[in-house]
């Protein structure tokens, strides 16, 4: 009986080791999927004619644009002027680290885990409506309504890479929610630029 038991015990121990090895392999953490890498980002404000909740293109619109580097900063000394009473089509365009344009399309393709917040303006100065294609509500395209003049402020555009399932808790009214970090995730973009809202054509400082 002893001669039969020893090989059996060896076989069981070998199987146990194999199961243990497979189990450890399954428990190893999966490699983290890297977030989108952006080389540059551009915000473009294009004046539109806004009537009854609809925008129409103008023949010679006012266009204001600023490009940010990979750190999220514009050129030194950048200071944007927007006109009170106007509506601008605000678009975000990006390039990846290979310099290829259109990287923002990935954010639209994964609209269930991306959301842009527009922060920093004093109360009552700005209003915003998401206008992405297919009602995806990311913020790549939208309409910025400039309601009244204000002193200069830092306009902060946050592109949030959300954890799965979080976006269901975000409404269109959260476009300027200062507590956006309650929507768990990480920032893909954090853009900051000084903006001054002027009255009509008065572009003085």
pLDDT greater than 50 at residue 4: no
* pLDDT (0 to 100) of residue 150: 97
- Could you tell me whether strands 79-83 and 185-198 are parallel, antiparallel, or unpaired per DSSP bridges? parallel
Burial 144-170 (b: 16+ CB within 10 A, else e): bebeebbeebebbbbbbbbeeebbeeb
- Could you tell me whether strands 38-51 and 63-68 are parallel, antiparallel, or unpaired per DSSP bridges? antiparallel
Torsion 136-103-191-89 (CA) sign: negative
- Could you tell me whether strands 150-162 and 63-68 are parallel, antiparallel, or unpaired per DSSP bridges? unpaired
Fold held by 38-198: Immunoglobulin-like (2.60.40)
Least trusted range by pLDDT, from 59-73, 115-129, 138-152, 188-202: 188-202
- Give me the chain's average pLDDT, please: 84
Instruction: pLDDT band for 38, please (50, 70, 90 cuts).
Output: confident
* pLDDT (0 to 100) of residue 99: 80
Give the tens place of pLDDT for each residue, 27-37.
Answer: 444 333 344 57
* pLDDT (0 to 100) of residue 202: 55
* pLDDT (0 to 100) of residue 96: 85
Q: Which one has a higher pLDDT value, 111 or 35?
A: 111
Question: Is this prediction's pTM over 0.85?
Answer: no
Half-sphere exposure (CA, 13 Å, Cβ side) for 177?
A: 16
| Residue % of the chain over a pLDDT of 90 | 72
| Residue % of the chain over a pLDDT of 70 | 80
User: Which tokens belong to 110?
Assistant: 């994964």
* Contact between 167 and 115 (Cβ < 8 Å): yes
């Amino acid at each position: 009986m002893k001669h039969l038991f020893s090989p059996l015990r060896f076989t069981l121990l070998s199987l146990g080791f194999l199961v243990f090895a497979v189990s450890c392999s399954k428990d190893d953490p999966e490699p983290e999927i890297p977030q989108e890498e952006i080389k540059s980002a551009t915000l473009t404000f294009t004046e539109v004619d806004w009537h009854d909740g609809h925008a129409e293109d103008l023949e010679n619109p006012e266009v204001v644009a600023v490009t940010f580097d990979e750190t999220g900063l514009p050129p030194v000394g950048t200071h944007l002027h927007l006109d009170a009473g106007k509506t601008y089509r605000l678009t975000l365009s990006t390039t990846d680290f290979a310099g290829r344009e259109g990287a923002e399309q990935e954010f639209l393709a994964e609209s269930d885990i991306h959301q842009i917040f527009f922060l920093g303006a004093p109360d009552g100065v700005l209003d915003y409506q998401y206008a992405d294609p297919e009602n995806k509500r990311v913020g790549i395209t939208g309409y910025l309504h400039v309601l009244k003049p204000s002193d200069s402020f830092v306009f902060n555009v946050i592109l949030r890479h959300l954890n799965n399932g979080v976006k269901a808790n975000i409404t269109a009214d959260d476009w300027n929610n200062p507590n956006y970090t309650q929507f768990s995730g990480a920032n893909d973009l954090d853009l900051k630029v000084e903006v001054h809202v002027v009255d009509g054509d008065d572009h003085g400082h």
